[in-house]
Structures are given as C-alpha cells and as structure tokens.
Chains A and B, each alone.
Chain A
Amino acid sequence: MRRIAIAWFVLSAILTPIVVAVIAPTLPPGNATEASSNQVFDDTVLLGIVTPIAVALGVYFAYTLIVFRRRDADPAEEGVATRDNPSIHLPWLVGTIVIVLFLAIFGTVELTDAGAGGGQGPSPAFKLSGNDVMPVQVIAQQWEFTYRYPTYGGVETAHLELPVGRKVELHVTSLDVIHSFWAPKLGVKADANPGVDNVAYVEPEEELSFEIHCSELCGLWHGYMFDTGQVVSGEAFAEWISEQQQVFAPATKVLPKYSTQYFPEPERRGG
C-alpha cells in the first residue's frame, strides 16, 4: 500500500502539472470567445482532477500485474478475502464525496456565466450583462442555416458574420425538424427546435473564421449542413451588414415580421 501511494504521489506530481500547464490549454475549442475560453478552463480543471485519479488506477493496475502475478510454482487458488479496511474505505469515501461535490458546485458556477455557450431555452436563466447585446437569429432548415439580424431591418443572410468585441444573443430555431447549431471555435452549441426560441450567448474576442455544423442527425444532407462564419472588426461588420441589406432587400420585403419562433405556412404538400 505504501509503495503504491508513493508511486502514485510521485507520478501525479510529475504528470498533473504537465497536463494542466502544457496539454490542457492547447485543447479545443480555443480562446476566440469568452465562452470558449471558459470551456478550456473547465476542461483544464477537470483534467487536473482526473489526472491523479487516472494515475492511481494505472499505478494500482501495474502494481497488481507485477506483484500479484501468478508465479509458475504458485498454486492456482484465490487469495484470502479481506473486509473492513478503514484505511482504504475512508479515503475512498471522503475523496469521492469531495470530488463529486466540488464538480457539482464548480459546474453550476460555471454555467451561471451566461450559460457557458449552451442553449438555455426561451427564458435564459443566465444572461450577458449590459445593454449593448446584439440579437442574431439562427434559422435552421433541411439543410442549411440562415441568419436574421432584427436590429438591422430584419435582414436575413446566408452566412453568419459577427463584430469582434460585441455581445451577441443568438436565438436558435428551426423551420422543420430538430437541428443543432454548433460553432466549436465560438464555444456555442444550441439545439434548433421547430417552434422554440433557444437562446445562447457569445462574445467574440478576436477576428477569425469559424466553422458551423449541424450536430443533430437531421436527414439526407445532414453531413453537408455546414457553413463558415466570420468574426470581423466593427467597421467591416457595419459595411457587410449594409451590403447585405441592399442585396437582400427583395427577400426582406417578403419575410414574415421578425419573431423569435416561426410556425411556417403553408404546408400544402405536407400531411
């Protein structure tokens, strides 16, 4: 037991800092937004906890294989049953309780940070602070995402573009089946359900291109339901959205009044 504890302590002392300081910060989704940065931080904390546990399992497994292996001369019989070993039970019980309670509290606290990039439904419990929040509607349908900007005349566009440093309130919905809007680099993932306004928040902190995927199996072309979005400077965004308003003026005229959810008509062909 003592040898196992020493081996575990030494290996954990070596590996945990390496995992936390070197490996974890390089893992996806990166640091393009506050949400994605927070997800990297969360993963770092989790890896910091998991690493000593994984080391303990590995050390115990290796120790067992080496020390308790059957020698040629040993008879094939079971060992003596051991019961009621407080020196093992107590640390196991206390350690498990502490870890689980910590993760529950840590996870809850992290979720309060504007929902951590996840969809929070139509009445989000955790909102971005401040008044300068730009709403953008994400409209999913088989098999394409389009985007509507209610504060820019309700113009709808085929691609998503966001200004850097601006708080964005995404309203994710669907016109047909269940889809899911997933922009890994932004740290945002929110289900798109027909007739439901699913709110998620994001605040881009650097200019970049990011991929958008549907992450809910949604039919024939689900695998093709992807897009590339852009985070650009405020000036570039103003220029782009103005251009979109001009280009899509004919479509904007026939769009329904902006709503956080749609119940599309007609369904003449549908049953």
Chain B
Amino acid sequence: MSSIGGRVAAVAVAVVVVAALIGFYVANLTSSPPTVSAQSTTGNTVELTLKTEAAVGPQGGNPPWVSYLVKDDQGDWVHSTNFKVPAHSLVHVTVYQFDGESGLRNPFLSQVQGTVGDTMTVDGKLMGSIPPDEASHTFAVPQLNLIVPLPGVHEDAENQCEDGPCDLSQAHRTITFTIRTGEPGRYRWQCFVPCAAGFLAGFGGPMQTIGYMDGFLEVA
C-alpha cells in the first residue's frame, strides 16, 4: 500500500513539476513586448519617436543590454520594439541616439535606403550616408528595403549616458527620417551593427532578442 502511495506521490510531484515548467515557459518565454502605436498627427501622417540606450537599466529585464525604447501617446518611454503604424501613410520617425559608435560590419549599410528622398537628418543636417565606423545602430526593415544607419555619440562627448533611462540633457544624436508605408503587414526590423557588448563578435544577447535590438513594425 505504501508502495502505491509512494508511486502516486511521485507521479503527482512529476505532474506539478511539468505543469510549473509549462507555466514558466508560457509566462516568460512566449511573452512579447507590448505593441506601441505611433502618435497620430494630421491626415495620414504619424510620428514615431524612438531612443536607443547603451544599457537599458531598470526599464528592461536585462539592465546591461543595449536597447531601443519607444514613446507612447502619453509621452512616456516604453521598453518595447514592436511598433504599429497605419498603412499608406507617412511616418515621421525621430530617434534620440544615446549610444556610442560601434561601426558597421558591412559598410554598404551606411547608406540611407528606403526613406522618403533616401535621406535623413542628423542633428538637423540632411544626410544620405554616414561614415561606416561612426554607426552605432541601424533601423532596418529588409522586407521594405529600409535601412537607416544611426551615428553614435562621439567618444569624447561630455555628459554621456552610461545607463538608462537617458534624458535629452545628456549627450545624444537626433536622427529624423520619413517613411511611406504601403500595404498592411507585419515586418521584422533589426539593427545590423554588432552592438551587443560582452557577447561573441557583438552578435549575442540583445541582438538576438525581440525587445532590444529587434522587433516588429506592424503596418495596419
């Protein structure tokens, strides 16, 4: 009898352990950052405001990791890389870039592609490309042929932001560009700069995780 009781207990424990593992998987490993909508302005035009930080700090699950953040319609910064924009619209994107220079593996990606006019502004200056070594990140949607290289904060800049949250009183670059959306769809976007500090060749951790240097652009 005790043998049967022991077996039942063992099975019950096993069931609980398996259920706990499934619950942990569902709760933690299948979760996705929230989708943040671009802020509507006039007509078919919206504003999407992003920032990058060298270390996201307490806003993220992995404080030392480099990350993008997005501003929601309340004006608050949200740790997410999933953005929603309307189809057949103009999206004015502003990126406040607080991270330093890392450099592109492939200099081809230093040229702006896919924006309106194939240009962007950097600190108010119109540019079509940047020196590859000055790239800190890219905002790239390969399926839409969109590549925007983001220059980094110079090494000798004062008042640099080491850990998030960073604010505009600290050293940063301001990049703006406009994209014209087409048909609805869910498009992945990514950073092409190997910017993951502490990972092999800079390509691990945040470069491989949605919510940091990768995400989705939902065109709806």
* Chain A residues engaging chain B, CB cutoff 8 angstroms: 139, 141-144, 146, 156, 158, 175-177, 219-221, 224, 248, 250-251, 254-256, 264-271
Given A156-B106, A250-B128, 7 more pairs with CB closer than 8 A: A141-B192, A220-B207, A221-B188, A251-B111, A266-B102, A268-B102, A269-B102
Given contacts A267-B202, A270-B194, A270-B201, A250 and B111 within 8 Å (CB-CB): yes
User: Do residues A158 and B200 form an inter-chain contact, with CB atoms below 8 A?
Assistant: no
Given contacts A219-B203, A251-B129, A254-B129, A269 and B195 within 8 Å (CB-CB): yes
Closest 9 CB pairs of A and B: A270-B202, A269-B202, A251-B111, A270-B201, A156-B108, A266-B103, A264-B105, A250-B129, A220-B208
Given contacts A224-B143, A248-B108, A268 and B103 within 8 Å (CB-CB): yes
User: Do residues A139 and B132 form an inter-chain contact, with CB atoms below 8 A?
Assistant: no
**In the assembled complex, B131 has its CB within 8 A of some CB on chain A:** yes
User: Do residues A176 and B108 form an inter-chain contact, with CB atoms below 8 A?
Assistant: no
A contact residues around B207 at 8 Å (CB): 142, 220
Q: Roughly how many angstroms separate A265 CA and B132 CA in the complex, as a whole number?
A: 10
Interface of B is mostly: mixed
* Chain B residues engaging chain A, CB cutoff 8 angstroms: 101-103, 105-111, 113, 128-129, 131-133, 140, 142-143, 145, 147, 188, 190, 192-203, 207-210, 214
User: Do residues B142 and A176 form an inter-chain contact, with CB atoms below 8 A?
Assistant: no
B198: nearest chain-A partner, CB-CB: A271
User: Do residues B200 and A271 form an inter-chain contact, with CB atoms below 8 A?
Assistant: yes
B201: nearest chain-A partner, CB-CB: A270
Q: Roughly how many angstroms separate A271 CA and B195 CA in the complex, as a whole number?
A: 11
B contact residues around A176 at 8 Å (CB): 105, 194, 201, 203
24 A–B pairs (Cβ distance < 8 Å), ordered by A: A146-B106, A146-B108, A158-B147, A175-B106, A176-B194, A176-B201, A220-B209, A221-B214, A224-B142, A251-B107, A251-B109, A254-B132, A255-B107, A256-B107, A267-B194, A268-B101, A268-B202, A269-B102, A269-B193, A270-B194, A270-B196, A270-B199, A270-B203, A271-B199
